Amino acid sequence: MKYLLTMLLLLCTVSFLQAQSDQIITKKGDITIHPVLHAAMVLEWQGKTIYIDPYGGIEKYSAFAKPDLILITDIHGDHMNKATLNDLDKSQATLIAPPAVMEGLSELNFKENIALKNNAKTKWMGIKIEAIPMYNLPETEDSRHPKGRGNGYILSIGGKRIYISGDTEDIQEMRALKKIDIAFVCMNMPYTMEISQAASAVLEFRPKVVYPFHFRGSGGLSDVEAFKSAVEEGNKAIEVRLRDWYKEEKK
């Protein structure tokens, strides 16, 4: 009986993940995107598993293979989550993160550590990784996200360019992006930007597909339907994909 209950739970977990997951076709194999929670996601490609800002507890990753690569954007607990990272099997994981994150995780052991500053680049297992600035405006000494501390990322995988914004406001570096196939764009006040700012930036750099993510703010969840409407009204060629990044928190 216990075995049957365990199998049913696993099937339900897998079913949930499949409902949330998307396949991106590339010339070198499909990329599978699994939204997890807030800014946390898992990407799978060519048998490799990539965790981005793993957060929310080890149980949220039970249906995935252990990570081969972990990308972290910033030092805050919803990105650099020590509790989740401590419990993950990191024995085969390369950590790529800004220097401030590396310093904060110095007590944890990874297979390899690669520190990237803003505008730096590296390659990992056929994937090109670029660190993109992420910061708040105006730039002040007490900014939650000062320029240079955290990274957004562009991942070039199988000929597709995937942008992950990190915690950023409507900055010129985002607006200047070119040839982005998939974009994950944050929108939560007062930490990052309003949906109108996010929509305006997306309409300027014109990704083929955009996912609103990281949209839980101090007043609750941002109106991603309004973001979708604003983008579609401005450019119908941009596909906006809404996924339930906060499903379990709504229960």
Q: Does residue 4 sit within a domain?
A: no
Q: Does residue 81 sit within a domain?
A: yes
Torsions phi, psi for 205 (to 5 deg): -90, -10
Its pTM surpasses 0.75? yes
The answer to whether 105 and 90 are in contact (CB under 8 A) is no
Provide the pLDDT for residue 141: 78
Q: Does residue 175 sit within a domain?
A: yes
Domains identified in the chain, total number: 1
Q: Does residue 224 sit within a domain?
A: yes
pLDDT tens across 42-82, in order? Answer: 999 999 999 999 999 999 999 999 999 999 999 999 999 99
CATH number of the domain residue 156 falls in: 3.60.15.10
Q: Which domain holds residue 169?
A: 22-241
pLDDT tens across 154-206, in order? Answer: 999 999 999 999 999 999 999 999 999 999 999 999 999 999 999 999 999 99
Q: Does residue 3 sit within a domain?
A: no
Any idea how long the chain is?
Answer: 251
Q: Does residue 247 sit within a domain?
A: no
Listed in sequence order, the residues at least 6 apart from 125 whose beta carbon sits closer than 8 Å to its beta carbon are 46, 48, 68, 69
Q: Does residue 76 sit within a domain?
A: yes
Distance CA 178, CA 163 (A): 10
| Nearest to 130, CA basis, from 102, 98, 106, 103 | 98
> Running DSSP on this structure, what letter comes out for residue 66?
P
| 86-112 burial code (b ≥16 CB/10 A, e <16) | eebebeebbbbbbebbbebbeeeebee
Q: Does residue 58 sit within a domain?
A: yes
